[in-house]
Amino acid sequence: MGKEITPREANYRIAQGALLVDVREDHERELGMAQGAVGVARSELEQAPHRFITRPDLEVLLICQSGGRSMLAAEQLQRLGYQRVTSVRGGTLMWQAEGFPMTRPEEPVDEDFHERYSRHLRLSEIGARGQRRLEAASVVVVGAGGLGSPAAFYLAAAGVGHLRLVDDDVVDRSNLQRQILHVDADTGVPKVESAHTRLSALNPRVAIDPVAERLDSANVERLIADADVVIDGGDNFPVRYLLNDACVHLGKPLVYGAVHRFEGQVGVFDAGRQRGRAPCYRCLFPAPPPPEAAPNCSEVGVLGVLPGVIGTLQATEALKLLLHIGEPLAGRLLHFDALAMRFRETRLAPDPDCPLCAPGVPFPGYIDYAAFCAG
């Protein structure tokens, strides 16, 4: 077991030349550190202690929030041969409680940032750096309905800095069974306006750009050109093919989702950035199915919670892409059967003869997508 000393003893030893190291994460130290401490995250200290402990005879005191992490770090450093390492009992909390001085950053601390995103900040895969990356990101959500509602809700809650919502429809009472961005009082209101109201109330830090337009070949590039990720929350094949073609042309990752009765699909099409390595939507569906084979929700119905599941998965994929973490669904299609409560996965390979995304194929231009999908 590692050794512990009280904050009072630690304060005395610091005066005698001991080095005090705060092993908390960056975002924790921004709120204040014990006076005289240097900040080095625990993982960084354990990986390269020689960078910070410059002499083998140097006495080192480790402090964290409450004493647990500093004790674990002390034990690890002792195993590495550093014998004059001690943990401060009770951490920064006890240090403050006993009245010892603290230092705070000269810049004002963004208290809302630390409180609102505290659970993200605790994840080493995200932390303050990843959260700032989300705040600088832009996502376009096409469709503010069944899929766009949960996707936009969770992206706003997660702190994606700029959300553009594209939808030309108005709220109908039949939408409310599944489109959770809207409420009964919004009936007849443009969906993007209703969405703007809810998302701004959820997280005022996020810039919401409501665009009450129907997506078409004339406006698609203008609407997605500055996006880091595009989410397909539409419910028709012309929009899916148009978004796919534009995202391949502009090099944007497209997060696809679809629902039908009790089943849904999610995938990531990233052929624009990964030609020959990742497929596009046309690799999966070179041609749309006949209309009678793919009726929409208004014709056959849909389980109300199903778009919530699929839209939330789309938001998950978007966050992974923005944070560069995990394994995105590029080259994989995830199927969900709500009645059986089962997921299954289909591997997708890029089509070497795809007329859109095959390596070396020039962009063929936009087409009449309504006519193409009508057969």
- Known catalytic residues are 297
Q: Which two tokens stand for residue 84?
A: 């004059």
Non-local (6+) Cβ contacts of 253 within 8 A are 229, 230, 247, 268, 269, 270, 272, 273, 321, 328, 330
Q: How many contiguous H segments (helices) and E segments (strands) does the chain have? A: 16, 15
DSSP class per residue in 313-375? HHHHHHHHHHHT-S---BTEEEEEETTTTEEEEEE----TT-TTTSTTPPP-----HHHHHT-
Tokens in use for 334? 């995830």
Specify whether the CB–CB gap between 287 and 358 falls below 8 A. no
Residue 63 contacts residue 20 (beta carbons within 8 Å): yes
- Of 158, 155, 156, the C-alpha closest to 117 is 158
Structure tokens at 328: 């995105």
Torsion angle, alpha carbons of 233, 235, 237, 240, to 10:
0
- Give me the sign of the Cα torsion angle 102, 107, 111, 117: negative
DSSP string of 287-320? SPPPGGGS--HHHH-B-TTHHHHHHHHHHHHHHH
| Cα of 146 vs its chain's centroid, Å | 20
- Nearest-angstrom CA–CA distance, 30 and 45: 18
Task: Tokens 């209703």: give the residue.
Answer: 194
Neighbours of 171 (CB within 10 A): 24
